[in-house]
Amino acid sequence: MAEIQLERNEQLYRHITENSTDFISLHTLDGKYTYISPNYYHSLGYSLNEMVGKSPYDFIHNEDIKKIKFLNGNRNTSAEIKTVTYRFRCKNGKYIWIESKYKNVLSVDKVLDEIICISRDVTKNKQKLIELEEEKKSLKKTVYTDPLTGIFNRRYFSREYKKTYQEYLRDQIVFSLLIIDIDYFKKYNDTYGHRNGDRCLIKVTDTLAKGVRKNDSVCRIGGEEFGIILPNTNKDEAISLAERLCKQVEELKIPHINSDVCTYVTVSIGVSTANTIIDSVNLNMEKLFSLADQALYESKKSGRNRVNFR
């Protein structure tokens, strides 16, 4: 009777395994297949002989191999069920997304430890998640990007400025702020028209963006006004960069016959720096921005096309 019951149980388990929509596999502790359920062939194209004795490394996408912890020296013998998602190469060369749940168990003869793994094709769900993530990135880019110039907008400036200031308070990392205004831009629009004014803005923006370093943030914070956040930049470095930007904009030689300062389009710049631990007591975000704005006003008052520091 015991043998009959054992045979019935074996038939039942085989029936479940062979008709399950999930992929069922057994592995040695180093990951090699010792058993695969028949639907591996129908879904992935591989026969039993093509997989048994081989490692999942032979089929998993190179970028996802590190995710497969049970192949990376894991010898956890607990009953904990773990989950991992990765790309698996089918016989036709295409990759599908697989979600596997696995745990360490004793073998049928209760002699060896092995791994039982139940997997399923989650390609459609994963693709939806990827598409949602792309939409999220696109939306985030739209939210933080100025539509005319393509650089960061005031919303991004406010977020990044706050983040940089908090880092300054926490780690005393010096940083500087530039506020930039295109000189007599209203006169430019009145003279050349708003369409040409847009072209001028784009050219000046490109020059500012190319003139700073990789980690600097150039943002359009008003009509013809820009804010540039300069992480890890002291007073002298900020002034030097600002003067270089002034020169580069003038060297664009965009005609501006009604400018009171130059025959070409120019900019004025105000600079401020958060530099010392003492500053952090009296110098808040609003004060630092106000200092840069006052420096910009002084640049305009003293002749424009120049840099001032406060």
Q: Which of these, 269, 239, 307, lies nearest to 179 by C-alpha position?
A: 269
Exposed e or buried b per residue across 259-272, where buried means at least 16 C-beta atoms within 10 angstroms of its C-beta: bebeebbbbbbbbb
Active site residues: 224
Instruction: Quote the CA–CA distance of 298 and 164 in Å, as a whole number.
Output: 25
- The Cβ-side half-sphere exposure at 160, using a 13 Å CA radius, reads 21
Q: Residue 28: CB partners within 8 Å, gap ≥ 6?
A: 34, 112, 114, 115
